[in-house]
Structure 1
């Protein structure tokens, strides 16, 4: 990893919140809604949900770190000499290679313009910052997941716990939508509606699975 290797990080913990929280909430909401009516021991249900929560948080942590790490091999958006030689070894003619290089140049310019318009800052890769981001994203994932599965852990009456979980999920989505609207400078109502529809879609999907199986 060279010192000049670049990675994109837009807003620190705010980005970690926007990524981690809804993923954890929706995943555990779906898992609890699907599994609550299956014939199984209460402890088995708990073990499965906690296993999903832990596995999901580890996966999110790893993927976030990789996203922050970037790819040093593709720091340059232009056609490199090595890539040109590989194309030549494939018996691709010079005219086609020139077209490929020209398209890559256009894409690079478009990408730079997009970064400027969205006010995204490129910065040199920092391992400590990437690890911190991964931990924060996993924390917010766990927070969203606990909001969904928490009522089941405190109440073995799953129908009642399901109602409490659903209430907390949609309340959490509402609060999260306002936070996202503030962070991204958007109007809150469209975001609230979008996340409510996603939550309702997950509930409907779980209901359909119950009817099918």
Structure 2
């Protein structure tokens, strides 16, 4: 799993398409420093498996995108030169600095507006209808792999406030209206919904437990 604390911004240096699979080669000096074949690295919030690490010499690694990943995430439109947020999987005993992030993208959102402040920016994102029930004010959400706190939501969109560190150290600092972003809602909310489903009637009201 991941924590949504981006370690570095990398760059896509090669895109190769073979049948249904797309292979991406990514440059990232920090995340490749100890990368091995089979390791997990989150690329813009998508958990991907390293198949060709070259950290010792070139600081690059290669991953493969299968049709499911291409359908579910914004990586389907990525190209050479694109900047991406990178994070290695959390080691056992590591510090959970953000929130629990699986790297399993739930949907793709869109940047609706950006309001720059003196030192921080307020950004509003479009929210797919099927994800709205999992997003709550002051709750957590991962946007392109960045752990963020929801400042406000109206059911169709949500707003976050980006601190200077986030603006400087992630791709969210340069996202503009119309850009697509990967969204992963809080996994705890999804588990709670699943576990309580048997106690709820069709109307959403609590049913009696016999």
What interval of TM-score do these two structures reach, taking the shorter chain for normalisation? Answer: under 0.3
Structure index of larger Rg:
1
Structure with a larger share of its residues in strand = 2
- TM-score of the two chains, using structure 2 as the length reference: 0.21
Structure with a larger share of its residues in helix = 1
Larger relative CO (CA 8 A, sep 6+): 1 or 2? 1
